[in-house]
Structures are given as C-alpha cells and as structure tokens.
Amino acid sequence: MRLLVLGGTWFVGRVLVEDAVGRGWAVTTFNRGRSGPDVAGVHLVRGDRTNTKDLDRLAADGPWDAVVDVGGAEPRSVGLAAQVLGAQARRYVFVSTVSVYRDWPASPVDESSPPHPGNPDLVVEDPRWDAERYGPHKAGCEAAILRSVSSDRLLIVRPGVVLGPHEYVGRLPWWLRRMARGGRVLAPAPANRPIQPVDVRDLASFLLDLVGWSASGIFNVAAPAGHATYGRMLEACTAATRDVRGSDEVEIVWAEPDWLVEQGVRQWTEIPLWRVPPGTWQVDAMRAAAAGLRCRPIEQTVLDTWAWLAAGGAPVWHERQGEHGIDPARERRIIDMWGLRSDAAASEQRLV
C-alpha cells in the first residue's frame, strides 16, 4: 500500500504515519519541515502546499493508493492540493471535524446533519486560531475537494474531540498537570456527565482500515454513548499522577454548571472539555462503529498520555495551548464561593 500524507508530524498525522509504517506500508510525507520531527521510515518530500510548483513536484512521485490530508484548514489551499494530487490517488482522504455541522454543539448531530455553508474559494488571511471560523473553514475545505475528487473516491472522517499522546491542543495534558498539583480541584457537575473523546491511535487505526478497504463516504468518529464520563476521566488523571503528587490529596469540588457560567468561567477552555450545550457529547458515530471503530477505555488514554508527558514528551507548539486551564488563584476563589453557597443552601434546608 502506497500512502501520501500531507503533514504527518503533529498529532493525528504523526500517529497515522507511525501506524501506517508499522503496517509495512510505503509512506510519503509532505510538509515544510518547520514543526515536529519526521517519523522514521518515511519518504520525505519538503514543500509548501500553497505552492503549485511544489505540488507538481510532489505529484511526480505518485501514484498512491491513497492521499490523506490531515490538517488542511484553508479551503483554497486544500482545494489546490486536491486538484493537483487527486488524479494520482485511488482514494482521497480528508480529516475534517464535527465542527462542520451547523448545529453542533447546540444539538446532537449525525452524518446527515446540515453543514455550514463553507466557501471553497476562501483564502484565510489571518492564520490565528479562531473557534468561530474553524467549522465553516473546514466545511469549505470539504466543498473544495469535491470539485476535483468524485464522491466515490473521497473519504471524509469527522472526529469529535481527539485525545492521547502528542496532543497539541492541551486539554488532557492540562488536566493531568492540574491533578499532579493536588489540592481542591474545580470541576463541573455532574460527575456522571457522558463524554465521547476518541483516542488518537483509535482514530488513526480506523482511518487506515477504511483506506485498506477502499471505503468512501463520511464517518463521524467519536466514542460511543456510555463509553466514558467526566468523572471517570478525572479519576483516571488523579490515579495516573499519584506518584508525582506524593501525599498531597486531590479533592474534586463538583460545582453546578449554570452557576459556573454565572461566575464567568469560560467553557471548553478555562475548564477543558466542559461545555453546557446539549449536543457537545451527542455525536452519532454508529456508522463508524459498524465499520469497525473500536475505542480503548478512557483510563488507558489518560495513562498513556501521562506516560508520554512524564518521559519528556512535548507537543508541537500551538497558540491554543495557552487558552486552556484556570488560573490557580481564580480557581481557589470560585471554590470558596461555591462552598459558601453550598453552606448557605444547607442551612436553609435545615430550617425548612
């Protein structure tokens, strides 16, 4: 199997390439060489995906059984790559996101849910991360690819939240480091809130299986309903970091979500992986499950991510890393306020 991966050094792309090399596939990676280290055993081609000459030079290395665009987020350049490379691939694969759905996270979604009306010709002038633009931009990327690649040769995977070793966004690493500090930890109730993160290794393995089967179409990729809860994730973080924490105990303080919103706590960032909208963790991925997606326990994802960090693992730098986590002093103030509120409510209840 001959595979071309556009990128291949960050997170999903890196794990995907490692898996493909491990399967004995002949893997070519195409990137500028400016971020993470390349995976051993690949054929490297340096270049810029926005440069037509670089893409033409890359196309001369084809054909491939599949081309995988892992991180493309600008419709114009994603479409350009598909235009030049699409004819050199039996299968074209785009790693998209559930953020393309117009109604997510406000409502549950499946593959039939309407996407944002993305612009396939859009050139992104400001490269800084913008959560509001991300979904429409990815929708534009999907539309741009369809101009050059027929739907019967196109495979689109739309992951939800992806966690695991090499995560560069910083959500799970923040929680692990927070539990390593010990003390009272602010968390959004209830502890049994369902969550659906998928391990990056399970996403990569599933994608490569689909490529091997010459699959096409759209697949949401998320853990199934009932797979994990917020409380289990935090308990796993607590257990994984016990050795470095020593005798310092962890006390998780579960505060009501609506009250946290009233205090101005920023969802999804100040408290990572927490969001009030009901569709956040209601991504229907039954089609992927039927096609073979298997998700390891959240405890294993947490433990392996901590092992990677403890061994000196460092993600590729991204501006989003600075968004995640609550300031320790602010966390203490909010926990104290919640305690006073809870004490007052308990006193009032006793008087009834």
pLDDT of 346 strictly over 80: no
Q: Which residue has the tokens 């392996």?
A: 304
pLDDT of 326 over the 80 cut? yes
CA–CA gap between residue 319 and residue 302 (Å, rounded): 23
Question: Using one digit for the tens of pLDDT, what is the confidence trace for 236-260?
Answer: 999 999 999 877 899 999 999 999 9
* Domains annotated on the chain, with CATH: 2-159 (3.40.50.720), 171-195+227-278+297-351 (3.90.25.10)
Q: Tell me what pLDDT residue 322 has.
A: 81
The residue-averaged pLDDT of 5-23 equals 96
Q: Which residues fall within 8 angstroms of residue 43, CB to CB, at 6 or more apart?
A: 26, 27, 28, 29, 61
Which is more confidently placed, 162 or 36?
A: 162
pLDDT of residue 126: 79
User: Alpha-carbon distance 161 to 1, whole Å?
Assistant: 29
- Please tell me the distance from the alpha carbon of residue 70 to that of residue 348, in angstroms, as a whole number: 55
* pLDDT for 42: 97
Q: Which is it for strands 43-46 and 26-31: parallel, antiparallel or unpaired?
A: parallel
Tell me the two tokens of residue 244: 């470095």
Q: Is the pLDDT of residue 119 over 60?
A: yes
- pLDDT over 90 (residue 136): yes
Place 152 in a pLDDT band, splitting at 50, 70 and 90.
very high
What is the rounded distance in angstroms from the CA atom of residue 156 to the CA atom of residue 216? 7
Instruction: Give the CA distances from residue 171 to residues 120, 195, 270, 279, 302, in Å, rounded to whole numbers and listed in that order.
Output: 30, 14, 10, 19, 11
Instruction: Tell me the pLDDT tens digit for each residue of 32-89.
Output: 988 889 999 999 999 999 999 999 999 999 999 999 999 899 999 999 999 999 999 9
Residue 166: is its pLDDT beyond 90? Answer: yes
Q: Please measure the distance between the N-terminal and C-terminal CA atoms of the chain and give it in whole angstroms.
A: 72
Q: Of 93, 94, 112, which Cα lies nearest the Cα of 284?
A: 112
The answer to whether 66 and 94 have CB atoms below 8 angstroms apart is no
Q: Would you tell me how many other CB atoms lie within 10 Å of the CB of residue 326? A: 19
- CA atoms lying within 13 Å on the CB side of residue 139: 19
Retrieve residue 238's tokens.
């607590």
- Mean pLDDT over 190-201 rounds to 97
Residues facing 198 on adjacent strands: 162
pLDDT(351) > 60 = no
Q: Report d(CA 66, CA 73) in Å as an integer.
A: 19
In angstroms, the CA 18 to CA 283 distance is: 27
Q: Over 60: is that where the pLDDT of 350 sits?
A: no
Percent of the residues in the chain that have a pLDDT greater than 70, as a whole number: 97
**Greater model confidence, 349 or 330:** 330
